[in-house]
A and B are shown apart, each in its own frame.
Chain A
Amino acid sequence: MDPMELTALAIFIGVYAFIMSEKIHRTVAAMFGASIILLLKVVPWEKVPEYLDLDTILLLAGMMVVVNIARESGLFEYIAIKTAKLSKGSPMRVLLLFSVVTAFISAFLDNVTTVLLLTPMLLYITKKMDIDPVPFLLSEIFASNIGGTATLIGDPPNIMIGSAAGLSFNEFLLNMGPIALVDLFATVAIIYLAYRAEMKVHEDVESMAMTIMSLDERDAIKDPVLFKKSIAVLIGVVMGFFFHDKLGVEPAVIALTGASVLLLWGGTSPEHALEKVEWATLFFFGGLFIIVGSLVETGVISQVSRWMVNHIHGEGEAILIISWFSAISSSVVDNIPFTATMIPLIKAMAGYLNTYPLWWALSLGACLGGNGTAIGASANVVVIGIAYREGIRITFSDFLKVGMTIMIVTVAIGTAIIWFRYVGL
């Protein structure tokens, strides 16, 4: 190994270690690592645009603006109240409806925003129903991660995969959508079977249902005009994603157009809207792309991929290895740096294998692996953190027992579907 390779590898491992330890913020770790790489010229400055995936960064930024403006209108609280009312105080309905709604919203918006907005409502109605909120919170976490798997914009790993492999929104929906659907209902069934004893309402059912029905979703609408405009733009953006390949534009362009239309039409102050963009996340991506770029630039990635190709015998084996390796890794490591590392590896395999099914295997593992442990995905951490603040303890080992089961079942279902689709019996 030459010094440049060693430097790139050392920085990569060091940044990974800092991200895992959470001793310093992941953005700071990634930016610091990227700075050293650029200072030492491991990646020459003129090559930075090549490694910086602007598709991913701008798509995320565009969606953040759209979601933040829509949030200001009260749209998501409206959905949460509507869902609570539809459940009519039945635990089974609460479980099913909140899981389906969470998965659906997560398929189009970021998982953290989705769970941040739905969890308070879930806690409120389970409190009123006087039942244990834990199964409902766990189901919400799993549904969020599963829903995010379904589309190109559902989870950052999918955005990165879509951008790197040139996959369209519809390709994602057709390949990952059915997997997410089957996985979602399998998850709800497992949660129900595991916690059915805790799902019995002790309170006076009628008065409890009345309390929930007394919530008025219209109270959530802070700005009725912006509310309608947000819905119109969100529908427009989703429609745009459906047709982006036919229109010949990148998904990032659709998201940025949606953001600018909503800014123009909604009359929201751009300073206010842009100040809510998660700049830390965007800089984290930027830093990460440069760090992984250094591994590509120095040839580390091509060496690893050659080694992998020499040891993998065919697509079927590659699908199994990538999906399970990604799932297990993503259950302990942030799936964003993991996906960023795997993308150039799979790209490098293109000369030896048909990589098309491998992208789905990576998406499956990276997104669903997050369900494995309490620190596997941001949605897990957010829901557990909210629960903790409200006096509900979900320990790491409590989560692990259910999470691992869900992860194994959902990844097995997904791998089987990809296998039958691209390898056959």
Chain B
Amino acid sequence: MGWLHDIILRKFNSIAGTRYEEIIKAYENFFLTEEEMVIPEIESLLLAFDRFSCELPENVYEVLLSFRDARVTAVYVIDEAVFRIIRETLGEAEAEEFKKKELAFAEKFLETVEEKLRTLNINWERRIIFGDKSEYVMDALENHDLLILSRHYGFETTKTHSISPVVFRIVQNVKKPVIVY
């Protein structure tokens, strides 16, 4: 019966031609891959903020609600390099002034987030750190399962670049799922 099977395959090639490949290519755009099919287990979330980050939108809070049992860590990152440059060029006093202002801004930002998380009954811990914005997030994510960050994180976005280069670098280098808002 092998010759009958050969006839079927010959007929298939002459009828379908390249159309099947075109259709499969179109379907691949919205079929989930095997990797995407596995729903990741989220036990800890990392929320990264900085001076350029925008406020968390409502749908991100909804995501947080769906991982109610997960450990949430909110980190505000102040660029250590900027602090160092100010100290080296303008002096210690200017650097301290900058630090004070940045810390006040960070506190205020995190308070807004904290207020919302409290109303949603989500437990969280917060940190303000000095460091490299991309390096810190990539290292910290080793101990977390999901990263949430603003598309403006690390850099002002422009008309031509809707995602900051820092976010782009992080997303390209981490293996954990990332939500960019």
B-contacting residues of A (Cβ < 8 Å)?
Answer: 21-22, 25-26, 74, 77, 81, 112, 116-117, 120-121, 124, 128, 207, 211, 214-216, 219-220, 222, 374-375, 378, 381-382, 384-386, 388-389, 395-397
Contacts and interface: CB of A to CB of B under 8 A. Distances in A.
A77 B31 CA distance: 11
Q: State the majority secondary structure of interface residues on B.
A: helix
Interface residues of B, number: 25
A396 B4 contact: yes
Contact of B8 (A21, A26, A74, A374): A374
B23 A116 contact: yes
B12 A22 contact: no
Contacts of B23: 77, 116-117, 120
B30 A220 contact: yes
Contacts of A388: 8-9, 12
Contacts of B11: 22, 375, 378, 381, 385
A21 B37 CA distance: 44
Given A124-B31, A216-B30, A22 B24 contact: no
B93 interface: no
A220 B30 CA distance: 7
A220 B29 CA distance: 8
Interface stretch (B13-21, B51-59, B117-125, B149-157): B13-21
B10 interface: yes
B90 interface: no
A396 B8 contact: yes
Given A375-B11, A386-B12, 13 more contacts: A22-B10, A116-B20, A116-B23, A124-B27, A215-B32, A219-B29, A375-B7, A381-B15, A384-B12, A385-B20, A386-B16, A395-B5, A396-B4
A156 to B, nearest CB: 13
B26 A74 contact: yes
Contacts of A374: 4, 8
B4 A375 contact: yes
A60 to B, nearest CB: 15
A358 to B, nearest CB: 29
Nearest to B10: A22
A114 to B, nearest CB: 12
A50 B32 CA distance: 54
A144 B127 CA distance: 62
Contacts of A74: 26
Given A381-B11, A381-B15, A396 B30 contact: no
A26 B20 CA distance: 20
A205 to B, nearest CB: 15
Given A396-B1, A397-B1, A381 B26 contact: no
B5 to A, nearest CB: 7
Contacts of A381: 8, 11-12, 15
Nearest to A380: B8
Contacts of A214: 32
Contacts of A386: 12, 16, 20
Give me the 4 closest cross-chain CB pairs, A-B, nearest first: A385-B12, A219-B30, A396-B4, A381-B11
B16 A385 contact: yes
Contacts of A375: 4, 7-8, 11
Contacts of B8: 374-375, 381, 384-385, 388, 396
Nearest to A280: B14
A375 B3 CA distance: 12
Contacts of A396: 1, 4-5, 8
A112 B15 contact: yes
A395 B26 CA distance: 28
A22 to B, nearest CB: 5
A207 B27 contact: no
Nearest to B39: A207
B15 A121 contact: no
A219 B9 CA distance: 32
Contacts of A117: 23
A216 B23 CA distance: 17
| Central interface residue in B13, B15, B20, by most chain A CB within 10 Å | B15
Nearest to B29: A219
Contacts of A382: 12, 15-16, 20
A128 B19 CA distance: 24
Contact of A120 (B15, B24, B37): B24
B12 to A, nearest CB: 3
B27 A120 contact: yes
A77 B27 contact: yes
A389 B31 CA distance: 18
A146 B5 CA distance: 24
B27 to A, nearest CB: 5
22 contacts: A22-B10, A22-B11, A22-B14, A77-B26, A81-B30, A116-B19, A120-B23, A124-B27, A222-B26, A375-B7, A375-B8, A378-B15, A381-B15, A382-B20, A384-B12, A385-B8, A385-B11, A388-B8, A388-B9, A388-B12, A395-B1, A396-B4
